[in-house]
Amino acid sequence: MKFDDSLITTNLWDLADYTNGRPTKPSELVKQGLPVIKIAELSRGITAQTNMVSRNAVDPKHIVCAGDLLFAWSGTIGIHTYDGPEAALNQHIFKVVAKDFIDQTYLRYLLEEQLKVLQGFVEEKKTTMGHVTIANLKTVEVSIPKDLTKQRCIASYLESLDNSLNLYKRKGKTLEVVAQTIFKSWFIDFDPVKAKMAGEKPSGMDAATAALFPDSMRESELGLIPQGWNVRSIGDSVIKQKVGKLFDSKTSFPSGSVPVLDQGKSGVVGFHDEEPGVFASPEAPLVVFANHTCLLRLVSYPFSVIQNVFPLTGNKVDVIWLYFAVEGKQQFDSYKGHWPDFVLHKIIHPTVEATRAFRMIVEPLLKEKWLLEQQSKILGKIRDSLLPRLISGELQIPEEILAS
């Protein structure tokens, strides 16, 4: 480790304490306990398929809590800030705690800035489960500000950008929740139908829209449903769209004009500058179903896909209505093809006019959500361009900000 008046030059290994997770034995699994955080949980979150272990079986050093810095060093390399409940850390993931001369948040951004270098070690090994070794971490030399105040200022500035991005995300989620609430009222609880059965006017609904809902119910294989509505399989309600050229992680790039949708939590494996395989827009969105992970999205921009990502539109139903109708119908079981099971699920099928009326109500909400997503992408690009310049010292934080 070298010091000068303003910088400390060292390697990634010497910056922090790296605690590897523990191997989880089948005999340790319980029905109720701590969730086991594997690389799969870092990508898709804790699900019904997440293993559980007894807290008593886990050394405290292998417990992770919200805010902990995690480094997945095998397979899908990544830097993560854990945001779930107390859990047990599985092997192939380091819990990273900064040494006393480096700020913990600054360390997170530094590791993120070095992610491409770390991924390069994996690619060099040319194996399906390549990994970053301790020896690799010791070879990556970095220079950081000696002054902790400067580190914290840089981290704080980057964190403020991330907070803005998270605010956009929360606002977008709120708008979608409002749309989900309307869907539930109309097509699950049947509030307009029940109001008419009681001789009342459906709340918040104009006469033309209210006329699309019947005033009686009938028995069906899914229980009582509005008179004149039917039950259909999802397979009968969707139409698969052509996807054009398929891409993958090797044929897509870190930047480009067309996103390539994948099956992971992030949703995008990369980009390209060729013709989009699928055309969507705010006026003509598409439902996108990930065959192996069951991730479901409503996409409003042109895109391409990897294998087993299926764009769908509605068959005799509006596509926006379709998205809310099929959301959550197929649960992730294991990493396998779920399409055959997905299309067998039965859904209540109203008139196409009722599905279009729902779209007219919720489309402005979704368009505002999509606008927030576009603004988030722009801010995200600015943030990603600033990250290496701030970490390297190429871009200086003004002294008045440092002093504040």
Instruction: Point out the domain boundary residue: 83, 115, 146.
Output: 146
Is the pLDDT assigned to residue 1 strictly greater than 50? no
CA atoms in the 13 A half-sphere facing the CB of 101 = 15
In the prediction, which pLDDT does 401 show?
A: 60
Look up the domain containing 91 and give its range: 2-146
**Do 180 and 117 share a domain, yes or no?**
no
Rounded Cα distance, 393 and 154, in Å: 10
* pTM exceeding 0.75: yes
Rounded Cα distance, 154 and 109, in Å: 9
**Do 133 and 204 share a domain, yes or no?**
no
Rounded Cα distance, 323 and 280, in Å: 14
The CA-to-CA distance between both ends of the chain, in Å, stands at 30
In the prediction, which pLDDT does 193 show?
A: 98
**Do 194 and 331 share a domain, yes or no?**
yes
Strands 217-218 and 16-20: unpaired
pLDDT digits (tens, 9 = 90+) for 204-259: 899 999 999 999 999 999 999 999 999 999 999 999 999 999 999 889 998 899 99
Q: How many CB atoms are located within 10 Å of the residue 223 CB?
A: 9
**Do 234 and 128 share a domain, yes or no?**
no
**Do 201 and 336 share a domain, yes or no?**
yes
Strands 7-11 and 2-3: antiparallel
For the record, the structure tokens of 1 come out as: 């480790």
Which residue has tokens 């790039």?
A: 253
Q: Are 184 and 367 in contact (CB under 8 A)?
A: no
Is the pLDDT assigned to residue 127 strictly greater than 80? no
Mean pLDDT over the full length of the chain: 93
In the prediction, which pLDDT does 72 show?
A: 95
How many structural domains comprise the chain? 2
**Do 186 and 62 share a domain, yes or no?**
no
Domain annotation covers residue 160:
no
Domain annotation covers residue 157:
no
**Do 15 and 95 share a domain, yes or no?**
yes
Mean pLDDT over residues 125-139, rounded?
82
Domain annotation covers residue 152:
no
**Do 185 and 140 share a domain, yes or no?**
no
pLDDT digits (tens, 9 = 90+) for 279-305: 999 999 999 999 999 999 999 999 999
Domain annotation covers residue 191:
yes
**Do 217 and 120 share a domain, yes or no?**
no
Domain annotation covers residue 403:
no
**Do 373 and 233 share a domain, yes or no?**
yes
CATH number at residue 244: 3.90.220.20
In the prediction, which pLDDT does 208 show?
A: 96
Instruction: Point out the domain boundary residue: 114, 146, 178.
Output: 146
Domain annotation covers residue 385:
no
pLDDT digits (tens, 9 = 90+) for 83-101: 999 999 999 999 999 999 9
**Do 218 and 288 share a domain, yes or no?**
yes
pLDDT digits (tens, 9 = 90+) for 15-72: 999 999 999 999 999 999 999 999 989 988 898 889 999 999 999 999 999 999 999 9
Domain annotation covers residue 156:
no
Mean pLDDT over residues 104-109, rounded?
97
H helices present in 126-266, as ranges: 134-139, 148-187, 191-197, 207-210, 234-237
Domain annotation covers residue 303:
yes
**Do 114 and 255 share a domain, yes or no?**
no
Mean pLDDT over residues 374-393, rounded?
92
H helices present in 203-338, as ranges: 207-210, 234-237, 319-326
pLDDT digits (tens, 9 = 90+) for 152-211: 999 999 999 999 999 999 999 999 999 999 999 999 999 999 999 999 999 989 999 999
In the prediction, which pLDDT does 2 show?
A: 47
**Percentage above 90 pLDDT, the chain:** 82
* Interior/surface letters 22-41, b for 16+ CB within 10 angstroms, e for the rest: bebeeebeeeebbbbbbbbb
**Lowest mean pLDDT, pick from 69-78, 235-244, 367-376:** 69-78
